[in-house]
Structure 1
Amino acid sequence: MIQIRARAAGAAGVVAGVLLLTACGGDQAGSSGGGSNYVGGTGEVTQVAVEDRQPAPDLSGDTVDGDRLSLSDYRGQVVVLNVWGSWCPPCRAEASGFARVAEDTADQGVQFVGINTKEYSRENAQSFERSHGIEYPSLSDPDGRMLLEFPSGTLNAQSIPTTLVIDREGRIAARALTALTEDGLRDLIAPVLAEE
């Protein structure tokens, strides 16, 4: 009986260690993540067949720059929706690549939109966008409520960063629960962009 408890305690310690190592921390100096840690992505990338896609919620609200934005404004375009925070190291790692791909694909009918979440200072978010050359809009979601608008059972944002690709009909076509390289991002978008 004691051996079983010792094994269970050991297994719990391993799981806790793995979660700690994969956490996207918000406790860094100057962070605005509210002092909380968020479990990073699983690395899973999911592509959804056209017939199995679910509609994305029509997220709307104020952007980091104070403008109004609704995802439905971009119906008919492929939308790349990226969940990020300036306090998140993997978000910083992928940001400049996202800015380049957004610029490269804009004339192909691709619109990038960010969701800046758990960010309590718009100045930090604006500084992040400037330093990484991000010119596409980002919805401001300081309390994470927008992420809860994805219906249960859909490909929702489960980690930070998460990237979703929404097809021209407003349906979720792909999701990446990981930071993406520039090539990985292009690979995620390409099949959806090729659809008629």
Structure 2
Amino acid sequence: MRAKSISLLLIAALVTGCAGSQSGQPQAGDTRFVAGDGKMQVFEAAERKPAPAIEGPALDGGTVSLAAHKGKVVVLNFWASWCAPCRAEAPVLKEVAAETKAGGVEFIGVDFKDRKADALAFERTEKPGYPSIYDQPGKVALAFQGTVPPAAIPSTLIIDRQGRIAARALGAVRYTDLKNAVIKVRDE
């Protein structure tokens, strides 16, 4: 029962992190935003916890998994089309993903609590250049329970080459903060 309560609290925190209503979807004109400052917190290697095995359906078909990128640095970004800070940070993520891909860094989006048609429209507009897991029920976020959970939408996690959570940002990331953290983890 305790695990179920914690799971429900995590989902509630994620949904209310950006905006939303009791149903998990924002209402027209809803501009509430409770989030972090977007600063990247990098964890010392000895403090890092293993990332859970995550996998899910890609927005554009197929399957996306963390295991497919074993041995690489992976940036996981939790987003939703209805989240204004997510839309604001999308160009930053796209740019850093393009600039670091040749260095062995992979990006994966996790579309959370969203309508699939809205998420696909967002991807057509933003053209991120990397896949997103369609995670309407929030199972991917729940998999991080007991590690370093994404606690707001947007949230960004950096997974190191050993599969450990190396960094986290709550809120919309800034270009310099994200790129510096990605390069630091990549160059370890």
* TM-score (normalizing by structure 2): 0.82
Aligned with 2:70 (options 67, 75, 81): 75
Structure 2 Cα separation of the partners of residues 106 and 170 of structure 1: 18
CA–CA distance in 2 between the matches of 1:126 and 1:54? 32
Decide which of 8, 23, 42 is 1:47's aligned counterpart.
42
Residue 60 (structure 2) aligned to one of 57, 65, 88 = 65
Partner AA of 2:138 in structure 1: G
Match of 1:34 in 2: 25
Provide the rounded CA distance (Å) in 1 between the counterparts of 2:148 and 2:168. Answer: 7
Question: Which residue of structure 1 lines up, in the alignment, with residue 151 of structure 2?
Answer: 158
Q: Secondary structure at the match of 1:115?
A: strand
Asked whether the equivalents of residues 40 and 161 of structure 1 are also in contact (C-alpha less than 8 Å), the reply is no
Letter in 1 for 2:65: S
Which residue of structure 1 aligns with residue 7 of structure 2?
A: none
AA aligned to 2:117 is E
- What is the SS of the residue equivalent to 1:160? coil
**RCO (CA 8 Å, sep 6+): is it higher in 1 or 2?**
2
Write out the 4+ residue segments of structure 1 that deviate beyond 6 Å after TM superposition: none
Which segment is superposed worse, 65-74 or 39-48?
A: 39-48
The answer to whether structure 1 residue 84 and structure 2 residue 84 are counterparts is no
TM-aligned CA deviation for residue 169 of structure 1: 0.8
Q: Is residue 85 of structure 2 the alignment partner of residue 94 of structure 1?
A: no
Q: 2:140 aligns with which of 130, 141, 146?
A: 146
Residue in structure 2 matched with residue 186 of structure 1 by the alignment: 179
* Structure 2: 5+ residue stretches without partners: 1-15
After superposition, the C-alpha distances for 1:121-172 in whole angstroms (9 at most, x for unaligned) are x2211111121121200011101121111132x2110000000000001100
Q: TM-score, normalised by structure 1?
A: 0.79
Structure 2 SS opposite 1:192: helix
Structure 1 residues 97, 45: closer, same or farther in 2, change over 3 A?
closer
Identity %: 41
CA distance in 2, matches of 1:26, 1:66: 27
Max Rg structure: 1
For this pair of structures, how many residues does the alignment match? 168
Q: Post-superposition shift, 1:25?
A: 2.0
Q: Conserved in 2, the CA contact under 8 Å of 1:113 and 1:137?
A: yes
Q: 1:127 to 1:136 in 2, by over 3 A?
A: same
Match of 2:128 in 1: 134
Q: Displacement, 1:93?
A: 0.3
